[in-house]
Structure 1
């Protein structure tokens, strides 16, 4: 479905998701995401942060609403896409997962190249016949994420931080129009968490694409985000710059002061 007249790389309109009828997890979400910058989504567990991210790339199917996204120069409503059209759209949406979602028995290089499978014919994908330029690009991305020396290492031999760097490089292999990350630091130590968020932000800036991150670490979000979206109970209750996020806002988002003590 092609549309026109919207601003920003991504516009979410009246988005609702119900896993059980009459019990919405997302309650009429409206957001417009600019074409660049890091947007962090914060809020308590169960408030719909991961569901929002997963609705955008259609890992979860919304109940109603629109997700208008500019992909490869065309604006589409992700909610209306199915089958081949949905697969084509997903090629342009990079996704970084909390638990990495790597193929453990494959090498780092092989995991990166899976980011190009959506661009291959079924025959070439089955045979893993990648173009020389894709292989060269994978080597470049390994250098970007600091893993050049691990190209032939199996994924299951890496640390958590290294695995997440592979996940980021794999998402960038898609040459995405938007980069999504679902709790990318939740399993990592504080130092590695900072490195991962900074890497995501830097790559968004360098590639001129928006980055959306679902994150629990409020201070990390404040430090590196251009914009913070605070959610509670399936609603957006704060949407603005990190500097504007007050303790009062945090009390509303997280339900009181006890969590801060």
Structure 2
């Protein structure tokens, strides 16, 4: 079994943070006896941007999706704000998910709705069903949605349909929708994988800015190592369903990357 490199961030340094996300023995098996996540122990800090890197198929997306229960863990704990998310169901799970903003690789917008309507979907867990059905959202929510469109660089886009937007514009809407939830944590599953290099940088800048301004944790599953180094305050490297690096980007060396991605020619 691979072990994390020495010198990575100490769990004890973060365990006292009440905003931290704590994973204990997190395991996921889609087929019995073949774990995708193999007993992950991790304490993710209560602020800043954490990037999770690693090759395809190593469990990065599964890890993100186990946190918000889009995927049900096989075993283990997901502790956040005094609750084990892995054990919640029904109303308790729905209430917990309201506090977790999610940014998807394929945007996950409602294509036929306008940008404003997609943003207001982030408030569906907070307004009565009849208000949502009639699209009668509080004035405060509408004002906040306009402010967020400004913040993500889309002023004047409120009435545009989602299916008329570029990929980068859609991802900006997806981020703004996640922020509309007033989340206590944001999870981003490969938010730049479908975007060009310039737009990818812009999306990471937005996520990093929100993490800093709102003092909440943002956890990004990302393939681009250089983007991770540039924007993350912490990097978690995964290989074979295990954490093999956990520390600051400045300490991530070629030796670490060879262990994460395998072999001498991982960059080729």
Which bracket does the TM-score occupy, shorter chain normalised? over 0.9
1:110 has 2:117 as partner: yes
Alpha-carbon distance in 1 for matches of 2:131, 2:93: 20
Structure 1 unaligned residues grouped into runs of 5+: none
- Alpha-carbon deviations, 1:195-246, whole Å to 9, x = none? 1011101001101100000000001101111000000000000000001111
Conserved 8 A contact 2:17-2:46: no
1:238 has 2:245 as partner: yes
Give the aligned partner of residue 124 of structure 1: 131
1:32 has 2:43 as partner: yes
Give the aligned partner of residue 179 of structure 1: 186
Give the aligned partner of residue 64 of structure 2: 53
Conserved 8 A contact 2:237-2:245: yes
How far apart are 1:128 and its partner, in Å? 2.5
Alpha-carbon distance in 2 for matches of 1:227, 1:6: 16
How far apart are 1:79 and its partner, in Å? 0.5
Structure 2 unaligned residues grouped into runs of 5+: 1-14
Query: Mapping of 1:68-217 within 5 angstroms?
Result: 68-70=79-81, 75-217=82-224
- Indicate the RMSD between aligned Cα atoms, in angstroms: 1.3
- Alpha-carbon deviations, 1:68-115, whole Å to 9, x = none? 012xxxx11101100111000000000000000000110000000000
How far apart are 1:51 and its partner, in Å? 0.2
Q: How many residues align?
A: 254
Conserved 8 A contact 1:8-1:33: no
Task: Say which of 60, 75, 82 aligns to 1:64.
Answer: 75
How far apart are 1:5 and its partner, in Å? 7.3
Alpha-carbon distance in 1 for matches of 2:47, 2:220: 13
Deviating runs (4+, > 3 A) in structure 1? 4-8
How far apart are 1:33 and its partner, in Å? 1.2
- Alpha-carbon deviations, 1:9-51, whole Å to 9, x = none? 2111110001111110000001111111110000000000000
Conserved 8 A contact 2:28-2:73: yes
Conserved 8 A contact 1:160-1:188: yes
Conserved 8 A contact 1:8-1:34: yes
How far apart are 1:8 and its partner, in Å? 4.2
